[in-house]
Chain A
Amino acid sequence: MSGILVIAEHEGGSFKKTAAELLGKATELAAALGTTVSAAVLGDAPATELGAFGASKVYQVPGDFSSYDTDRVVAGLQAALEAASPDAVLASASFLGKDAMPRLVARLGGGQASECTELRVDGGTLVGRRPLYAGKAFADARITRSPAVFTVRPNSFGQPEAGSGGAEVVEVSAELPEPRITLVEQKTPERDDVDLSEAERIVSGGRSLKSEDNFDSVVRPLAKSLGATAGASRAAVDAGYAPHGDQVGQTGKTVNPQLYIALGISGAIQHLAGMRTSKVIVAVNTDPDAPIFEHATYGLVADLFEVAPKLQAAFESLD
């Protein structure tokens, strides 16, 4: 057994940003452990490219993975893990990380630490630091059986610089089962923004937006001017100003952006739970005592309807 294996996800052949992010961190950890980094890739993708981010070997499983099927993904990853027999596995806390990894861990009898936001080497092994209670507490997770899987919340680590090396590609054949679940229809929203859980910038609106029209004419254009994704408080979602999928918080999405702008959001503990790890938080609220200000990097005690258009104009005029 040796090394750190990164599950490198791709979409139709282009690697996701999280693949480089995880490889960058794995390279740093492997140096401290005196071991090597490899990657696992399902299906058709330019695996050798991953060498640029520190993978010395890539275990590539050929087969049709173009539409997501849990059983096939688990079987493919199982084959890659058996070929690599790594000390530790890093995967993104993406849909695949949440849907397939625990199933794989159960099949192989290992352990998983979910949604780690930090990884470090301590006493010769990998330790993940992870949020619990919706980010109201943190704990160290150590895994004592193989496979030791750490899933990582997107944007936890920076993007590494691409180097020049290529990786050695090892083809691993896997017996892929017939799907038990059939895909009937895929509904992709017509939007060009990034998914909230992976977004680097978010502009969220609360109950104070007062209508869906206002949400669409104030929050969304401001988000757009920044290349940000729009989010919402539960009060805004419950009032129908924004769809369920936009909800940030304990019973909505957990987000981890560089910049989170909260417009007219009070900062209830359930909302904070979903966004408190944001690097920079900006709060705009008319109430100087709103709890959100205790967590905001920059606070504006002001009417959001006055601030938003001016901010939008300022962002649009940035080069």
Chain B
Amino acid sequence: MKIGVCVKVAPDTDTRIKISGDGAGIEESGIKWIVSPYDSFGIEEAVQTQEAQGGEVILFSAGPKDWQTQLRAGGLAVGAERAVIVDDPALAGTDPLGIARVLAAGIASEGCELVFTGKQAIDDDNVQVPAMVAELLGWPHVSFVTDFSTDGSTFTATRNVGGGTQEVVTGSLPVVITAERGLNTPRYAKLPAIMKAKRKKVDVKSLGDLDLSADDITPAVQLTNFSLPPERPAGRKLEGDVDTMVQELVRLLREEAKVI
């Protein structure tokens, strides 16, 4: 079975974001780039599935070919077999549906039967691409999955549907599964595997290689006017012993902030 994983490379979670001078985006210099953390859960689940069922794990990325550094360290070194990166200038300005078109075309061209993604990318926080990929492929999808198993033709998944409620669902492959925290604990790469990953195959493709053109991924969503979060009004440290502080806090919450 060919198992696909959609992998995005994003700024490390402890990055302090700076806005570029023109407000058109963020300052990218000096950022440490990592595999988006939820995608690591997707990679781990794909590798575990491959270990149980056989087959091959293929990583798919729509982004610059430089992402191969992170794909090797965070994917090929932990059990994925190879990676396909679609790199094209038109990708920089596209939107989630454009990205989904590219990923779906890549997945279809490899004939995958099961695809894992992260539940959300930690840079744009869209929570859109996986459901869109599934729609374009004509497959069902299951969102926010914390437990997964498959026998190679059917699957069982547990999903978080909000309010702390979990649902156990079943269905047939093919399917897109979006990984939620708790699905598994991603393994660390061992040194020999890291060395071996350097020789694994990374195919860099253009839109044309997938029979797509820039027109197919014209964005419908435009982001402008980037800024840092609004400053919070300066906070106040309360004074006195614990009893005094508690009393004062309750008063402030009632009378000043009016939230209780």
- Which residues in A have some Cβ–Cβ distance to B below 8 Å? 68, 70-71, 74, 93-95, 98-100, 102-103, 105-107, 109-115, 131-145, 148, 180-189, 191, 194-195, 197-198, 201, 226, 244-245, 247, 250-252, 258-259, 268-270, 273, 276-277, 279-282, 288, 293-303, 306-307, 310-311, 314-315, 318
- Which residues in B have some Cβ–Cβ distance to A below 8 Å? 11, 13-17, 19, 26, 37-38, 95-97, 100, 122-132, 134-136, 140-144, 146, 156, 160-172, 181-182, 219-230, 232-233, 235-238, 242-243, 245-247, 249-250, 252-254, 257, 259-260
Given contacts A137-B26, A138-B226, A180-B140, contact A102 B156 (CB under 8 A): no
Partner among B125, B160, B230, B235 whose Cβ is within 8 Å of the Cβ of A295: B235
Establish whether residues A140 and B225, one from each chain, have CB atoms under 8 Å apart when the complex forms.
Answer: yes
Across the A-B interface, give the 8 residue pairs with the lowest CB-CB distance, nearest first: A111-B220, A145-B220, A102-B128, A106-B132, A106-B135, A111-B221, A195-B163, A136-B17
> How far is A291 from B38 in the complex, measured between Cα atoms in Å?
26
Establish whether residues A188 and B169, one from each chain, have CB atoms under 8 Å apart when the complex forms.
Answer: no
> How far is A101 from B38 in the complex, measured between Cα atoms in Å?
20
> How far is A138 from B229 in the complex, measured between Cα atoms in Å?
6
Establish whether residues A299 and B222, one from each chain, have CB atoms under 8 Å apart when the complex forms.
Answer: no
Establish whether residues B260 and A318, one from each chain, have CB atoms under 8 Å apart when the complex forms.
Answer: yes
> How far is A297 from B253 in the complex, measured between Cα atoms in Å?
10
Task: State the Cβ distance, A187 to closest chain B Cβ, in Å.
Answer: 5
Establish whether residues B235 and A181, one from each chain, have CB atoms under 8 Å apart when the complex forms.
Answer: no
Establish whether residues B143 and A112, one from each chain, have CB atoms under 8 Å apart when the complex forms.
Answer: no
Given contacts A270-B13, A298-B236, A300-B249, contact A95 B161 (CB under 8 A): yes
> How far is A182 from B142 in the complex, measured between Cα atoms in Å?
11
> How far is A39 from B233 in the complex, measured between Cα atoms in Å?
37
> How far is A100 from B242 in the complex, measured between Cα atoms in Å?
49
Given contacts A133-B123, A137-B228, A184-B156, contact A103 B131 (CB under 8 A): yes
Residues of B within 8 A of A148 (CB): 220
Establish whether residues A299 and B125, one from each chain, have CB atoms under 8 Å apart when the complex forms.
Answer: no
Residues of B within 8 A of A247 (CB): 181
Partner among B164, B169, B219, B259 whose Cβ is within 8 Å of the Cβ of A279: B259
Residues of B within 8 A of A186 (CB): 165-168
Task: State the Cβ distance, B191 to closest chain A Cβ, in Å.
Answer: 26
Closest to B120 in A: A98
Closest to B225 in A: A140
Closest to B182 in A: A244
Closest to A288 in B: B237
Can you name 7 A-B residue pairings with CB atoms under 8 Å? Answer: A100-B131, A114-B128, A148-B220, A182-B171, A259-B253, A293-B235, A300-B249
Task: State the Cβ distance, A101 to closest chain B Cβ, in Å.
Answer: 8
Establish whether residues B242 and A98, one from each chain, have CB atoms under 8 Å apart when the complex forms.
Answer: no
Closest to B133 in A: A106
Residues of B within 8 A of A114 (CB): 125-128
Task: State the Cβ distance, B251 to closest chain A Cβ, in Å.
Answer: 10
Given contacts A139-B224, A188-B164, A299-B235, contact A109 B141 (CB under 8 A): no
> How far is A139 from B24 in the complex, measured between Cα atoms in Å?
9
Residues of B within 8 A of A113 (CB): 221
Establish whether residues A134 and B164, one from each chain, have CB atoms under 8 Å apart when the complex forms.
Answer: no
Given contacts A105-B97, A191-B164, contact A137 B181 (CB under 8 A): no
> How far is A306 from B240 in the complex, measured between Cα atoms in Å?
14
Residues of B within 8 A of A299 (CB): 235-238
Establish whether residues A103 and B141, one from each chain, have CB atoms under 8 Å apart when the complex forms.
Answer: yes
Partner among A136, A226, A252, A269 whose Cβ is within 8 Å of the Cβ of B260: A226
Residues of B within 8 A of A109 (CB): 97, 220
Closest to A184 in B: B168
Establish whether residues A301 and B166, one from each chain, have CB atoms under 8 Å apart when the complex forms.
Answer: no
Given contacts A111-B219, A140-B223, A269-B16, contact A133 B11 (CB under 8 A): yes
Given contacts A70-B140, A102-B127, contact A142 B224 (CB under 8 A): yes
Establish whether residues B125 and A115, one from each chain, have CB atoms under 8 Å apart when the complex forms.
Answer: yes
> How far is A277 from B14 in the complex, measured between Cα atoms in Å?
18
Closest to B219 in A: A111
